[in-house]
Amino acid sequence: MVERLVVIGGDAAGASAASQARQRRGPDDLEIVVLERGRHTSYSACGVPYWVGGLVSGADALVARAPEAHRERGLDVRLGSEAEGIDLDKREVAVRDVHTGAADRIGFDQLVIATGATPVRPPVPGIDAPGVYGVQTLDDGQALIDALDPAYTHAVVIGGGYIGIEMAEAMKLRGLDVTVLDRGAQPMSTLDPDMGVLVHEQMEEMGINVVTHADVRAVETGPDGRVRAVATAERSYPADLVVLGTGVRPATGLARDAGLPLGDSGGIRTDLRMRVWGGDPRHEGVWAAGDCVEVLDLVSGRFRHIPLGTHANKQGRVAGMNIGGDYGTFPGVVGTAVSKVCELEIARTGLRESDADAAGFSYVTAVIESTGRAGYYPGAQRMTVKMIAERVSGRLLGVQIVGRDGAAKRIDVAAVALTARMTVEDVTALDLGYAPPFSPVWDPILVAARKAAQRLAQS
Amino acid sequence: MVERLVVIGGDAAGASAASQARQRRGPDDLEIVVLERGRHTSYSACGVPYWVGGLVSGADALVARAPEAHRERGLDVRLGSEAEGIDLDKREVAVRDVHTGAADRIGFDQLVIATGATPVRPPVPGIDAPGVYGVQTLDDGQALIDALDPAYTHAVVIGGGYIGIEMAEAMKLRGLDVTVLDRGAQPMSTLDPDMGVLVHEQMEEMGINVVTHADVRAVETGPDGRVRAVATAERSYPADLVVLGTGVRPATGLARDAGLPLGDSGGIRTDLRMRVWGGDPRHEGVWAAGDCVEVLDLVSGRFRHIPLGTHANKQGRVAGMNIGGDYGTFPGVVGTAVSKVCELEIARTGLRESDADAAGFSYVTAVIESTGRAGYYPGAQRMTVKMIAERVSGRLLGVQIVGRDGAAKRIDVAAVALTARMTVEDVTALDLGYAPPFSPVWDPILVAARKAAQRLAQS
């Protein structure tokens, strides 16, 4: 008998799950229906800032696999199909055509929930006015690009996290004066403030205005109803365009309504194979992946919501492998993230000081400055590395990097070391690649580990 | 009573050991004498090709710490002092002044042997003729730079290993036609031939002539006694300059003559703390570090000779920490090396197929192509990654990378994974940094791991 897999959501996680299942089970064995409410599949939302900034030619470039390509591989991709409910007893999904409004129900044997995340809009007056743009989807990006007008001079970005700073770069590339409003003590709150301040200073040097402790009270509109400024508690910032970089929350309405378990972080809780958690027999054959799930933080042992395309792809693949009859797991994350604003590279993995405090760790910190190449090699530029290590055990807990020219991807060394639960002493001995164009003889990560080890000895 | 530490060799390993010991023990507790037969201390021999190529302004830039700076830190640095013998019974080193020829003996309580490595000169006629240059020391580099003559048109580099290809780039930057003669099937024999061929092809595309299976028979000289060509078994290659990139062997004459233990690789064998190996009480207080020692390969479990500045620095530091009363170890290496020729980056870590065969592993291999950035991001360029994994266990055994734009340092992820004895399945789940300017959503290392995991499943 042919089983039917229904996948809700055709972006990174959903499409990966569907593809991996199809690679392992043919159409005679498994029918695969992908419900996507939008017009696109398998696209890089992370690429939107670069498209808006003009570095990427068009939306097509961001589409890894278009609906037609999925169909050629035997997936029944239904665009404009919005799932409205999951009935675990009848094993059906209620579907509505977003264009015609027509309702339908589709039965499933296996179900993948890949509903993604929903942008958070600050609840202030004017936030929905024309001229305010999110940048979560290709349609968002297109709307912003269509709106760009040579007469515009000021852009305000609300939120100084990674989307915010990437959009600040994009607006700057478009020739606009850019102001970033962040409510925290420093932008990039995924870093400790002593590292975030480096980002702040260097963004200012690049000519991007960064306002911290910004309490956004309203988006002000002109007589035409369009945005003209953003008001904080202190003052008003002129704005021809407003971009929202205020983060997302997991889109779990369907799952919650169906009685599926959500974790403390608000995301759907799954097991290692991406099966929805819990012993309820009605959960059999129900999987979830991508920005709608929570992930295990391997360093703190806590569950977190970390919406990132790379996790979504991995989780989707794992779900699809298991649905396809193979065995695969997504063991968790260590919290790695890299980003850039113009030439400045920013990276972090593991715990910040506040995370380590919350988890109950006692720790030491070390901050060092080094360069990405041998100091004498042309183009060598400074980077700052902060390392956090547990007292007594010496276990590596987290690393943050701010710098240029090869700074960001150095975080990967720390990510692997965290996964392997190495001590900073272990890290000092790592056999990392050395040649003058690529590293000083002591790689910055090793220098930081040496200093952390010293701090441990003194602690 | 004041102890005396004598260090033979004032470059990376020796100077690091001396500095670290001094940081921990003051002059009233430990007298430190550094014997250096040359004129420099603590310099980057790895930087010589970039200096010769004109990318680095002068020799001074390559000196991390000059003799005077060491002296200011309380080290008795004696230049032009060549150690000629070690008497373990009398605990004395015989020293000769290389300028005056005057002989002396100096007693020690602790001894660090950091005698480095000696270039291998192919035993062919003419190899010592004027116009043939090694590039191991600053003096070598200066001699080559002094010899550069605008009238020269042809350079021949003997040896296509990392020094050879770096010198090929340097000669090309100096405007010369360059031919690299390598005796192997492909240049860069530290890679498997199927990866070496990529280096070969791309060097040719860059306009560097690469001759493989080159059996060098003679350096031919003109009537003036200077080089004019290099002859292989097949033909003769015109040469105004010949550069030797033919590798080095550990300089262990002193150690061997003193009866200290050498390993199978020819290097001095030490324990984890860099003490010279063995139970002989006369070996008490005798340490060794740098290019003269052998290192434990953590992947194969065998001892190897791997002369690299980064190991020398680490080993010297560990010896100095222990002499200084702290505890430190150098646990071994995984065989990481990175290099570049013009824009092409080359990296390897762990075992090649031949190493895995020799160690007795049964394994699978996977080769993939990917890019260093998201495919749509400006400047994305292709890289090839080869991964080797043990059958049954799935343990990662080695990785090789050839590519551009961020290819080389990606090897560090594999180096840490090897150190942690991860499986390729473990590697597929690594939380590596992702953002479009820095990586595709699946980092090339992850793509290779996925393919290797697939191969394992099929094996």
Q: What is the pLDDT of residues A405-422, one digit of tens each?
A: 999 999 999 999 999 999
Task: Check B4, B31, B38, B46 and give the catalytic one.
Answer: B46
Q: Looking at the partner chain, which of A64, A415, A429 has a beta carbon nearest the beta carbon of B431?
A: A415
Pairing of strands B236-238, B81-87: unpaired
Asked whether residue A50 is domain-assigned, the answer is yes
Q: What is the pLDDT of residues B345-359, one digit of tens each?
A: 999 999 999 999 999
Give pLDDT, residue A44. 92
Q: If residue B177 lies in a helix (H) or strand (E), which one and from where to where?
A: strand B177-181
> Digits of tens for pLDDT over chain A (459 positions)?
899 999 999 999 999 999 999 999 999 999 999 999 999 999 999 999 999 999 999 999 999 999 999 999 999 999 999 999 999 999 999 999 999 999 999 999 999 999 999 999 999 999 999 999 999 999 999 999 999 999 999 999 999 999 999 999 999 999 999 999 999 999 999 999 999 999 999 999 999 999 999 999 999 999 999 999 999 999 999 999 999 999 899 999 999 999 999 999 999 999 999 999 878 899 999 999 999 999 999 999 999 999 999 999 999 999 999 999 999 999 999 999 999 999 999 999 999 999 999 999 999 999 999 999 999 999 999 999 999 999 999 999 999 999 999 999 999 999 999 999 999 999 999 999 999 999 999 999 999 999 999 999 998
Mean pLDDT in residue range B221-239: 97
Q: Which residues have a Cβ under 8 Å from the Cβ of B429 and sit 6 or more positions away?
A: A314, A329, A330, A331
Q: What is the pLDDT of residues B110-164, one digit of tens each?
A: 999 999 999 999 999 999 999 999 999 999 999 999 999 999 999 999 999 999 9
Question: CB of A80 within 8 Å of any CB in chain B?
Answer: no
Question: CB of B62 within 8 Å of any CB in chain A?
Answer: yes
Rg of chain B in Å (alpha carbons): 23
Distance CA B198, CA B209 (A): 14
Domain boundary among A292, A323, A354: A323
Say if residue A48 is in the same domain as residue A187. Answer: no
Say if residue A406 is in the same domain as residue A453. Answer: yes
Q: Which residues have a Cβ under 8 Å from the Cβ of A297 and sit 6 or more positions away?
A: A303, A304, A332, A333, A334, A335
Say if residue A289 is in the same domain as residue A188. Answer: no
CB B439 within 8 A of CB A409: yes
Residue ranges making up the domain that contains A185: 121-244
Distance CA B16, CA B318 (A): 9
Say if residue A262 is in the same domain as residue A347. Answer: no
Give pLDDT, residue B91. 97
Asked whether residue A372 is domain-assigned, the answer is yes
CATH code of residue A216 = 3.50.50.60
Question: CB of B66 within 8 Å of any CB in chain A?
Answer: no
Q: What is the pLDDT of residues B370-380, one digit of tens each?
A: 999 999 999 99
Q: In chain B, which residue's Cα lies nearest the Cα of A296?
A: B431
User: Within the 93-152 window of chain B, which residues sit less than 8 Å (CB to CB) from chain A?
Assistant: none
Domains in chain A, number: 3
Say if residue B146 is in the same domain as residue B176. Answer: yes
Domain boundary among A214, A229, A244: A244
Query: What's the N-to-C CA distance of chain A in angstroms?
Result: 65
Locate tokens 């400045």: which residue? A344
CB A46 within 8 A of CB A340: no
Q: What is the pLDDT of residues A4-31, one digit of tens each?
A: 999 999 999 999 999 999 999 999 999 9
Q: At residue B278, does pLDDT exceed 90? A: no
CB B315 within 8 A of CB B273: no
Say if residue B181 is in the same domain as residue B100. Answer: no
Give pLDDT, residue A277. 85
CB A427 within 8 A of CB A398: no
Asked whether residue B13 is domain-assigned, the answer is yes
ipTM: 0.96
Locate tokens 């296509």: which residue? B160
Give pLDDT, residue B115. 97
Give pLDDT, residue A279. 80
Mutation target vs A (from B308, B416, B450; most A CBs, 10 A cutoff)? B416
Say if residue B109 is in the same domain as residue B222. Answer: no
- Token reading at A143: 């709307």
- List chain A residues with CB under 8 Å of B333: 431
Asked whether residue B331 is domain-assigned, the answer is no
Question: CB of B12 within 8 Å of any CB in chain A?
Answer: yes
Question: CB of A430 within 8 Å of any CB in chain B?
Answer: yes
Give pLDDT, residue A1. 81
Say if residue A355 is in the same domain as residue A272. Answer: no
Asked whether residue B208 is domain-assigned, the answer is yes
Say if residue B155 is in the same domain as residue B300. Answer: no
Q: Looking at the partner chain, which of B378, B411, B441 has a beta carbon nearest the beta carbon of A55?
A: B378
Say if residue A341 is in the same domain as residue A449. Answer: yes
Locate tokens 């992370």: which residue? A46
Domain boundary among B323, B352, B385: B323
Asked whether residue A276 is domain-assigned, the answer is yes
Task: Tell me what the pLDDT averaged over chain B comes to.
Answer: 96
Say if residue B388 is in the same domain as residue B454. Answer: yes
Mutation target vs B (from A163, A401, A431; most B CBs, 10 A cutoff)? A431
- List chain B residues with CB under 8 Å of A331: 429
Say if residue B91 is in the same domain as residue B19. Answer: yes
Q: What is the pLDDT of residues B393-447, one digit of tens each?
A: 999 999 999 999 999 999 999 999 999 999 999 999 999 999 999 999 999 999 9
Give B277's pLDDT tier (boundaries 50, 70, 90): confident
Mean pLDDT in residue range B83-108: 97
Name the percent of chain B lying above pLDDT 70.
100
Q: If residue B155 lies in a helix (H) or strand (E), which one and from where to where?
A: strand B154-158
Asked whether residue A363 is domain-assigned, the answer is yes
